[in-house]
Every structure is written in structure tokens, then in C-alpha cells.
Chain A
């Protein structure tokens, strides 16, 4: 059987969900690598080309136009797109600034503009179809393992 082609991507976040996956690999590396081929994973390898993925795991929320563009590119090149952790699923905690009071919003406005960040930080499903959500901050380790093992079956 051909190996499942996977990609791991990080947007605006703490990258803790990817760390959870890397901790899972402590015990599951051999088992998973027999069945999956990691094509994209910035923390582990250099590969900017996103192509013909079976599953894309995406952590983090979306805060800029360039992130929207990249997310759409991932969507176009993967069969399944999985939101990893609360940032990707519902925007939290990166989206805390959406609810800042007027005074705080005024303070951060020059930086938002300077760095071309969007007015609000949003979860993935605001921009693309998401096939599955694995929630938690960080992502729930057991649930992530269960789901990965289901995809690998």
C-alpha cells in the first residue's frame, strides 16, 4: 500500500500542537513512518512545495492575507485538511485581540497596520473547508493519536 502523503503547517500560534505531535512520535515514530510520508514539516525539513497531499494537518489561526493565500494553496493541494488545536478550530488564544476593549485596540492599531495583519484573527473554517477538527490547547494528545491511527488504517 502506498504511504499516506502528509503535510504539517503552522500559522499564527505557539506551535504547541506540533510539539504534541512530536512528543507522540517518541513512541510511535516507527509505526507511523511505515504508513505515512511527511512531505511538508517546516520544523523537520526544507520543502516549500505543497503538492498532492492526502492529509494536511494545520495548526494556528489566520491573521494575514498571505496566510489566507497559503491556507487556500494547502486546501487546493490536499484531499483532507485537518484543523489541529484550538487556534485552528476556533481561533483561541491568538484571537484574544478581537475582543480587546477600545483602549487596547487603539494601542495595538499601529502595529496591526504596520505588519499588515487583518482586523480580526479567525479560525481556518472562515476561509476554507475543514474536514475534521481536533480541538484542545494544546491539541488533545489521545484524540490526536486516535484520529491519526484511524487515517492511517
Chain B
């Protein structure tokens, strides 16, 4: 038996995640008394900063919440504004936005899986310590990341804080040559991704808990439009989300959290694959058929496998769209909306899960109110509960405190949290 069933565990400045966080756990008699994820990112008050700004400046301002998820913030704020002002964009714009979202997910998942997750699975602290054959993983990862980076650049102008995406359309368009180059790069990284899928499928780390999953779903597995579905059977329109989400203040963290219909829940790749795997790209389904049988999965570590499968979908779906548009990209002008006092909601799937924006504009097109709900905020309570239960499971397996620390970090990384996003938002009602 484990000799010490009473202990405190404090993990400081957890590495290989986006942003800063600590974790405090207290265990008494083999039971977790508390588990607190102390997110320590400093607040930057973006929702305050955006009020008073002209609607045209919103996407470039809000993308700066997060260097990793900047496209998702730009796209979500644009959707909120366009819905408020009843602006319908062209098919081409929507296709280009799908590509930008795909590219963002691809880069981000590649970073997470190859650089944050693989060291744990291989048993090294860092990819920088990989030796011999292991080094091939680094090259695979950089290759996939570059395909995403190149696609982001030809569509958005840049991978971080994309300048070309705007309310009403795009300000610059990819050339035929760039599209051909992008297709080539995407095709070339398919084998790398399939190798990673197989590797992650064979990782047997397991922690299961019956729980709720929430995602924006649709019939072509795009990340921009659809309806919100839950594993517990709710299906709602995007505009209804505020009736189901409830903000929860965590007194020990600079981030607040959310519950869905009063319960903890999970968002992200695992939720999306669990709820919508049949709508992945047909080429993806064909090549990942045996891995997809694992879903729906209640094992949180399968979020890694789900991300890897999504990377293949992002590649396949992007290749299809690029081939469709390559011969007739039009230099479309931005559609200028008619300004009125209005409210709009944006809902998109960011790499880490569903991102919600609620923006109010006055009759001059100035933002008067902004309210955001970020994926990592939605996962916090679920993650804390998972860690608490996982610690108890590991104690029953007589794991040492050191092994428990390692496993907890691995679990936190499987969630792929983004602390930069989770904290840099609006006002909180302090009770």
C-alpha cells in the first residue's frame, strides 16, 4: 500500500501549456479534499478595452487576447458583429474563413501534440531532449505546423493576429500559386499525421468518467456555424447559449469558470469527435476508421487522439476547399454593413472548444458591451474534478507522489488549456 495517504501536492508554474498556472491538492486518508487550479495569468481587461471602439477595430483588438488562438477570436468577434448588423457574407468569404479556422486548429493541435504531449508519452521532459530516432517526431511536428502556418499566412496574412480577415470579407486574397503550394504541403503531411494517430491510439493512459460534452456541430465538421449539441441530449441554436451557461467565480484564480445547465462539462476536440465524428471528411473517416471506433470515449486522455484525428480532417477539408476555389478566386470588396443599434452573438469552435462572444453596438457602430466565454474557462471545473478523482485512482494503484505529480501534469496537458485566453476578459460580479 502507499505509505502516505495524507499529503499536499503543489505544482508550480506547470510547463508545456499555454500560459501560467499552479495546482494545489490536499489528500487526506486517500481522498482528495480539494484540488484547485490556480491560474495566475495577469488580467489585461480586453472586454473593457473593446468597449468604446468602432466595430471595425474589434477583430484585430480581440485577436490579441491570445497569440495561439488569435484566428478564433477574430472570427468569433466578426460573427457577432455581422449577426448584429444582419450582414450576409459571400460564399467565397465563408470558404476562406473555414480555411483560416482549419489552419489555426492544425497549427495549434500540432504544437500541442508534438511539443507538449509527446515528451510525456515518450518519457522525456522536452522535445529538446529527443535523441536518435525520436528526433523524427520533431521534424514531423514542424512539418505539420508549417503546413498550417503557410495556410494561415496565405489566407489571413499571418498566423498570429491575422490582418486580412475583416467584418464583411477579406482584404487580401491568396494567389493560385500559393493555393497550389498549400495543397502540396498539406498532402505531404498526411502520412506524418497518420503515424501520430497510430502512436497516440496505442498510448494506454486511461481515466474514465461519465460526463457531459458540448460542441458546435454541423454536417461538414466546420468550426464556424451550426447548432450546439450536448452529450446529455440538448440541442440549441447558437443564440440561446446564455440560457444554458452559468459563470462561476473561483476565488483562488484569476480566471472564472462556467457550468452548463448547473453541471461541469467538457469542450474541445474530444467533445467534437464524440458528438460529430460521422461528419468528419470522408477521406479522414476512410483512413482513421479503426481509430474512430474508440469514440464516443469517456477517457479524457483521448482528447489527444481526437485532436490528431481532427488534424487529418483539417488537412483533408482544406485540400478540398482549396481545390474548389483555386481557379476562380475573386477580388471581392468588403461588404459594408448598415449601422444600427444591435446585439449579436458569435459562436465558433476554437482549437480548445466552443468560444462565445456577445457584443452590443450603438447606432454609431461603437461597442457598448462585450461578454465572452472561453473554452478553457468551461473546462476548469471539469478538470479539477477529474484531477481529484484521478489522484484517488492512482493512490489505489499504489503510485508514488512523484508518479502522481507526473500523471496529473499529463492530464492537465491532455486538456490543452490556454491560460492566456482564460483570464484576459471582462468584468466579474464579486459577491
Contacts and interface: CB of A to CB of B under 8 A. Distances in A.
Given A14-B420, A26-B149, A45-B16, A115 B64 contact: no
A79 interface: no
A137 B64 contact: yes
B45 A96 contact: yes
B321 interface: no
A148 B360 CA distance: 44
Interface of B: 12-13, 15-20, 41-46, 48-49, 51, 61, 64-68, 70, 107, 111, 115-116, 125-129, 138-139, 142-143, 145-146, 149, 158-161, 254, 420, 424, 427-428, 430
A20 B70 CA distance: 12
Interface string A108-151: 10111011010001000000000000000110010000000000
A127 B428 CA distance: 31
B13 A42 contact: yes
Contacts of B143: 26
A12 interface: yes
Contact of A44 (B51, B127, B161): B127
Contacts of B129: 45
A108 B127 contact: no
A19 B13 contact: no
Interface residues of A, number: 47
Contacts of A42: 13, 15-16, 20
Contacts of A38: 128
Interface of A: 10-20, 22-23, 25-27, 29, 33, 38, 41-46, 48, 63-64, 67, 93-94, 96-97, 100, 104, 107-108, 110-112, 114-115, 117, 121, 137-138, 141
B67 A104 contact: no
A93 B67 contact: no
Contacts of B420: 13-15
A66 B278 CA distance: 49
8 closest Cβ pairs, A-B complex: A16-B67, A45-B126, A26-B146, A96-B49, A14-B67, A46-B15, A12-B42, A138-B160
Contact of A25 (B49, B70, B142): B142
B254 A45 contact: no
